[in-house]
Homo-oligomer: A and B are copies of this chain.
Amino acid sequence: MTTAAGPAKGYKALASHINSKELPWFEWFPGHYLKLCKLNPITGQIITFIKSQTGVSLAVHFHPGTVVVYTIQGAWTYDEGWVAEAGDVVFEVAGSTHSPRMCGREETIVLAIIEGALEFRDENGNVTFVENWQTLLKRYHDFCAKEGIQPVDITSFEPTSH
């Protein structure tokens, strides 16, 4: 199953290459930072890195769709009997509610693929606000405007060509 080197003849890879070194981290909540990779304005899929300081938690939130989390560095837990360490994958079915707590010795960095939204809740279970592709795009654009950075079009799925 090994082919000679070179692009597949007559085909297009239709691949968008996201060079993570070219995208910025920006503060999401105190102790939590985002590096957005892609936002799908049709389906609402969110592909983002999340970096969190040691010891912090993210407030309780609900996910109407699935979430896949790959842990790159550090460790975190929902305090349900397991800890996600570097190299682990966590799959969350639609309808999960949780509050991840960072429990590693260094900053925790994950790649998260979120279908739809994060809905933060108060102590009574009421939704306080909803984070989705639209609100995250605004956060990124606001950060770029403040820093004088030209934003990358992270909602585009055009193939990368250099």
State which residues 1-46 of A face B: CB under 8 Å.
Answer: 1-8, 10-21, 29-32, 37-38, 40-45
| A56 contacts B2, C-beta separation under 8 Å | yes
| B157 contacts A42, C-beta separation under 8 Å | yes
Q: CA separation between A57 and B31, bound complex, in Å?
A: 41
User: At the interface, yes or no: A97 with Cβ under 8 Å from chain B?
Assistant: yes
Known contacts A57-B4, A80-B160, A130-B119; is-contact A15 B91 (Cβ 8 Å): yes
| B90 contacts A17, C-beta separation under 8 Å | yes
Contact of A126 among B7, B37, B101, B127 (CB under 8 A): B127
| B57 contacts A5, C-beta separation under 8 Å | yes
Contact of A89 among B38, B43, B120 (CB under 8 A): B38
A 46-69 binary contact with B (CB < 8 Å = 1; else 0): 010000000011111010111010
Total residues of chain A contacting the partner, CB 8 A: 85
Known contacts A43-B42, A130-B62, A162-B81; is-contact A88 B29 (Cβ 8 Å): no
| A43 contacts B162, C-beta separation under 8 Å | no
Chain A residues in contact with chain B, CB under 8 A?
A: 1-8, 10-21, 29-32, 37-38, 40-45, 47, 56-60, 62, 64-66, 68, 70, 72, 78-82, 84-85, 87-99, 101, 111, 113, 115-117, 119-120, 125-127, 130, 132-134, 157, 159-162
